[in-house]
Chain A
Amino acid sequence: KQEVTQIPAALSVPEGENLVLNCSFTDSAIYNLQWFRQDPGKGLTSLLLIQSSQREQTSGRLNASLDKSSGRSTLYIAASQPGDSATYLCAVRIGNQFYFGTGTSLTVIP
């Protein structure tokens, strides 16, 4: 069974810092990997989607990488802002299901 782990569980940084969130997964036979943002009590907002054949995707200040062979993905956030404070989830797609990590709770301090 696919296990998805995210490290760290929580992260607190001052505004303006660059930061990296980590995601690892046990089964490398994935279709794609998706990073989501979740605000407290809210739904899932898709940030970036990386296909299994891709190495990275960029959107604005966000850059996600994928190393399928080692079962790892990173989400890089440049010049963090207080509005980036949220929980970040990674999810890997195998077959007809997504398997989610437990998330990294990010706090950006003004």
Chain B
Amino acid sequence: EPEVTQTPSHQVTQMGQEVILRCVPISNHLYFYWYRQILGQKVEFLVSFYNNEISEKSEIFDDQFSVERPDGSNFTLKIRSTKLEDSAMYFCASIAPGTESHYGYTFGSGTRLTVV
């Protein structure tokens, strides 16, 4: 069964450093998402991306966050200057075109980001 792949599985970074989290969505999917889960808390929506632009973003997704699809296969989340409170599990998800309202997401296995 097709999978959404995320790398790395765990990243440790110093506060103030930039990090890039990578995702390879399922090949025929065109809608992409990032969610995050702070330890012990709910999974929260960050951003959705379609047709090479952000279609929706949450209050969490402020100016320190950015997303892009640099090469048509990878989908990345960049955090420019990490803070301690950015420590969380970050999940990528994708969904096939034309099925947006009828199918659930396929999630990746997540990247655990630890900011020290």
Contacts and interface: CB of A to CB of B under 8 A. Distances in A.
Chains A and B belong together in one complex: yes
22 contacts: A31-B102, A32-B102, A32-B103, A32-B104, A34-B104, A41-B89, A41-B112, A43-B6, A44-B43, A44-B91, A44-B107, A49-B103, A51-B102, A91-B43, A96-B55, A96-B56, A96-B100, A97-B45, A98-B105, A100-B43, A101-B42, A102-B41
Contacts of B100: 96
Interface residues of A, number: 24
Nearest to B107: A44
Contacts of B110: 42-44
Contacts of B35: 98
A89 interface: yes
B25 interface: no
A98 B56 CA distance: 12
A66 B116 CA distance: 43
Contacts of A93: 101, 104
A13 B24 CA distance: 38
B76 to A, nearest CB: 18
A46 interface: yes
A43 B108 contact: yes
Contacts of A43: 6, 91, 107-110
